[in-house]
């Protein structure tokens, strides 16, 4: 059915189909992202172009060689899916009636810019907050880049905030709020709806990164759902303050959330990926301990992944933890640490479950104390001192304790017409439990040399670790 000429989808050029003379950028896998002049102005900005130098998955390429794709590519993909979410929702009267042209342009800008402040290994560095380190947050850096506060990145260009204000005619601060604010901090119902398009159980960000990461990692897990069915099922919840799915899309939503679960289980938290991530986190911690955080933001925003690690190695004293670890990750070396123990909440042995909880709850001081005690015990087993950097304990992020749910709506229901998906699906309630109980493992890693020296002493190593963790 043809849309009336005053319909939002007709009035906003960014929502039009990609037809000549509109510019189009092509990204994997066979996706065309149409770019209007004002979108192109943001994409061509030095602060956005910088994202070409930031790998989406950090050190994951050391395990999955194809995972060298960038935050730039992902940001274009999220913008593309934000367009698709909006185009689909404009067929929902409650959404179309509540939204203005300014609202739509604001969420399109937020989708495009949601990763603006990301830098190499951001998640590894931000993990140091749990150890009391005051390290840069990518959300804060994103706001600063938007405002033009980093001249070395800005390169003389006007701030993106001015492009948004004068070419897009949207409020840059509102764009930033949609990208970073907690849902409860958004007073406007409209803003809560808009934010749910890029932050929720089913959103444009996850739809892109699950597909994109799967493509580049060479795994199927993140793309085995019916994308078209899911997009066509989008609606608003009964309170009209967030995204929901019509019942016809229930199975697609289940599979989508399960895809995310399997990506964490089999890809993002693969034991060797976690080894590489733990090594990077230890390098960053060593650097911050020695040099502090003054000037760190500029280093993070002006270097790519490989340059940053090489820079840290060049300035690290020979024999330091950072230098020792980086010897296995720079200069065409790949000597990743090996597992010597794994703990989870589902082990039958009570002491292993207690060890997991002790490690999971450990703050920076307790974590360091446990690590030191374990190292001393391992020194007795190998018969000589080992470097402090030879042992790493990896705890996955605490903000992934469960997967989100989404509201499923039933049209023309005689009674209650909406339910949280996890109440309707054993698959979703089970994955919510499993992400915490099974997938979220804690692992102890050792450098390859020490691991080889411990070979043949598995039982003694396991007993020693448990004794020191539970001491």
User: Tens digit of pLDDT for each residue in 426-444?
Assistant: 999 998 888 888 899 999 9
The domain boundary residue, chosen from 233, 263, 293: 263
The domain boundary residue, chosen from 200, 228, 263: 263
User: Measured between alpha carbons, how far is 50 from 59 in angstroms, rounded to an integer?
Assistant: 18
What is the pLDDT, as a whole number, of residue 19?
61
Q: Is residue 410 part of a domain?
A: no
Residue pair 170/164 in contact (Cβ under 8 Å)? The answer is yes
Asked if residue 277 and residue 182 are part of one domain, the reply reads no
Asked if residue 332 and residue 251 are part of one domain, the reply reads no
What parts of the chain have a pLDDT lower than 50?
Answer: 1
Residue pair 156/44 in contact (Cβ under 8 Å)? The answer is no
User: Measured between alpha carbons, how far is 199 from 42 in angstroms, rounded to an integer?
Assistant: 22
Asked if residue 321 and residue 258 are part of one domain, the reply reads no
What is the pLDDT, as a whole number, of residue 1?
47
Q: What are the distances in angstroms from CA 255 to CA 207, 243, 245, 246?
A: 12, 17, 13, 15
Asked if residue 378 and residue 235 are part of one domain, the reply reads no
Structural domain count, the chain: 2
Asked if residue 295 and residue 226 are part of one domain, the reply reads no
Phi/psi at 131 (nearest 5 deg)? -100, 15
What is the pLDDT, as a whole number, of residue 6?
57
Residue pair 56/71 in contact (Cβ under 8 Å)? The answer is yes
Beta carbons within 8 Å of 284's beta carbon, 6+ residues apart: 121, 124, 125, 128, 135, 312
Asked if residue 258 and residue 275 are part of one domain, the reply reads no
The domain boundary residue, chosen from 263, 294, 314: 263
Positive or negative, the CA dihedral 150, 153, 154, 159 is: negative
Q: Is residue 415 part of a domain?
A: no
Question: What domain range includes position 278?
Answer: 271-399+437-469
Terminal C-alpha separation, the chain: 70
What is the pLDDT, as a whole number, of residue 128?
80
What is the pLDDT, as a whole number, of residue 133?
72
Asked if residue 280 and residue 175 are part of one domain, the reply reads no
Asked if residue 289 and residue 215 are part of one domain, the reply reads no
């Amino acid at each position: 059915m043809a849309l009336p000429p005053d319909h939002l989808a007709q009035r906003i050029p960014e929502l039009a189909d990609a037809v000549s003379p509109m510019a189009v950028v092509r990204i994997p896998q066979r996706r065309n992202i149409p770019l209007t002049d004002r979108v192109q102005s943001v994409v061509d900005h030095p602060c956005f172009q910088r994202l070409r130098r930031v790998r989406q998955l950090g050190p994951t390429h050391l395990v999955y060689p194809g995972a060298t794709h960038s935050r730039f590519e992902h940001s274009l993909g999220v913008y593309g899916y934000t367009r698709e979410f909006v185009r689909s929702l404009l067929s929902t009267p409650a959404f179309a009636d509540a939204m203005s042209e300014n609202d739509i342009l604001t969420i399109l800008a937020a989708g495009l810019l949601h990763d603006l402040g990301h830098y190499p290994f951001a998640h590894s560095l931000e993990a140091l907050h749990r150890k009391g380190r005051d390290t840069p947050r990518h959300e804060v850096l994103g706001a600063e880049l938007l405002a033009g506060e980093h001249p070395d990145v800005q390169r003389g260009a006007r701030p993106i905030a001015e492009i948004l204000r004068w070419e897009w005619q949207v409020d840059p601060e509102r764009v930033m709020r949609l990208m970073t604010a907690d849902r409860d901090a958004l007073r406007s119902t409209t803003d809560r709806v808009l934010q749910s398009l890029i932050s929720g159980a089913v959103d444009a960000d996850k739809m892109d990164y699950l597909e994109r990461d799967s493509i580049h990692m060479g795994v199927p897990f993140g793309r085995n759902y019916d994308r078209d069915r899911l997009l066509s099922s989008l609606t608003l919840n009964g309170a009209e303050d967030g995204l929901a799915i019509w019942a016809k899309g229930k199975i697609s939503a289940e599979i989508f959330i399960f895809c995310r679960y399997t990506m964490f289980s089999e890809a993002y938290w693969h034991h060797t990926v976690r080894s590489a991530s733990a090594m990077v986190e230890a390098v960053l911690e060593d650097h911050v301990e020695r040099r502090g955080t003054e000037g760190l933001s500029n280093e993070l925003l002006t270097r790519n992944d490989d340059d940053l690690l090489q820079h840290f190695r060049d300035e690290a004293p020979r024999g330091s933890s950072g230098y020792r670890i980086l010897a296995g990750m720079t200069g065409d070396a790949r000597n990743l640490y090996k597992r010597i123990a794994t703990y989870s909440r589902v082990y039958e042995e009570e002491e292993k479950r207690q060890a997991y909880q002790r490690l999971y709850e450990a703050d920076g001081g307790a974590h360091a104390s446990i690590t030191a005690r374990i190292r001393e015990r391992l020194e007795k087993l190998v018969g000589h001192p080992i470097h402090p950097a030879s042992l790493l304990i990896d705890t996955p992020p605490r903000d992934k304790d469960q997967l989100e749910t989404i509201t499923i709506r039933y049209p023309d229901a005689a009674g209650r017409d909406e339910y949280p998906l996890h109440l309707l699906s054993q698959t979703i309630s089970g994955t919510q439990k499993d992400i915490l109980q099974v997938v979220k493992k804690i692992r102890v890693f050792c450098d390859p040399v020490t691991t080889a020296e411990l070979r043949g002493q598995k039982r003694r190593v396991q007993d020693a670790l448990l004794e020191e963790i539970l001491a």
